[in-house]
Amino acid sequence: MKKLFGILLACVLIVSMLVGCTGTVTGDGANKTTPSSGKTGDSEIIKIALITKMVDSPYWQTVKRAAEEKAKELGNVEVTHLGPPTEADIDKQVQIVETCINSDYDGIILAACDIDALVEPVRKAKESGIPVVMIDSGISEPVYDAFLSTNNVQAGAECAKLMAELIGGEGQVAIINFAAGTQTAIDRETGFTEEIKKNYPNIEIVGVQYCNADPTVAANQATDFITAYPDLKGIWGANDQSAIGVAQAVTEQGKSESIIVVGFDNSDDIKAGLKSGTIKGTAVQMPTVMGSEGVQIVVDILAGKAPADKAVDTGVTMVTTENMNDPKIQAILNQ
């Protein structure tokens, strides 16, 4: 009887183990638990890594705020903002993306520091089943799910048109760009230079420098241009940090009345420059759209809904000292 009881007990235990095993065996023989399908449900948090080109810039803080507001609205989304210390630290951003792939993130929103170096990390994320939505700055291969950005070539051209108008269609101008290998920087510079060459033969671009989004470096570079070209009529700063440094140099050199500064973006320092007249105009993007829609698209993809369009132009508005007080312009300037 004891032996019979023991055999029956063993059978019960074996059956229980078989019923309780819900795993599926893959081709490599590993026993893996079937993943939950509740990532888009109310009971499970969706974790999204927002990886920007740096963290402390006012522009990226605006993107972060919009992403967090969308996450709060959705209720079951958590956004973690990550990025290298500077936009020039490409290797650090690659490392951050690869760390996120191996961590417990469900989606990635990425603004790439370099058009080529981030291709493989994005490809790895996709192969790992992690949706990747690019914002602002893209990569050289479309291995991502969607790309939300300004048409930076057109934005650069609009800055060139404004500069040409403000300097009277002739004279010498210089460019302080922010990074040599970032797609946004390449596109803006291309748009600006091609517009000048095509439509303003009496304007000479005397040179281009790259400040790695450091206002102090931009100020020094602008000062060098001012010294080397006494007849310089304008300097374009291709992002907020570049323009801030340019405005500082022009003010310190006593050239605010003779050298036109056109900038990019809408940080508090840019707005202060517009108010004082040191900066005559700026191209304002829609970082709030990039942050908010980036989160929504990741959530939609996880729910099985593919983006309607892979490339989305989020728009740009030219703000000047002349139109900045218009209520509609104010709403864009202060987003």
Domains of the chain: 46-150+287-304 (3.40.50.2300), 152-284+319-333 (3.40.50.2300)
The Cα–Cα gap between 292 and 305 comes to 17
Rounded to 5°, the CA angle 161-224-234 comes to 20
CA atoms within 13 A on the CB side of 173: 30
Enter the pTM of the model: 0.78
In 10 A of CB 14, how many CB atoms? 10
Per-residue pLDDT of the chain (335 residues; tens, 9 = 90+): 334 334 333 443 333 333 333 333 223 233 222 233 335 444 599 999 999 999 998 899 999 999 999 999 999 999 999 999 999 999 999 999 999 999 989 999 999 999 999 999 999 999 999 999 999 999 999 999 999 999 999 999 999 999 999 999 999 999 999 999 889 999 999 999 999 999 999 999 999 999 999 999 999 999 999 999 999 999 999 999 999 999 999 999 999 999 999 999 999 999 999 999 999 999 999 999 999 999 999 999 999 999 999 999 999 999 999 999 999 999 999 98
The Cα–Cα gap between 200 and 75 comes to 52
Q: Which residues contact 168 (CB under 8 A, 6 or more apart)?
A: none
The Cα–Cα gap between 103 and 289 comes to 27
The Cα–Cα gap between 95 and 117 comes to 11
Q: Which residue, among 109, 32, 36, has the nearest Cα to 71 in the 3D structure? A: 109
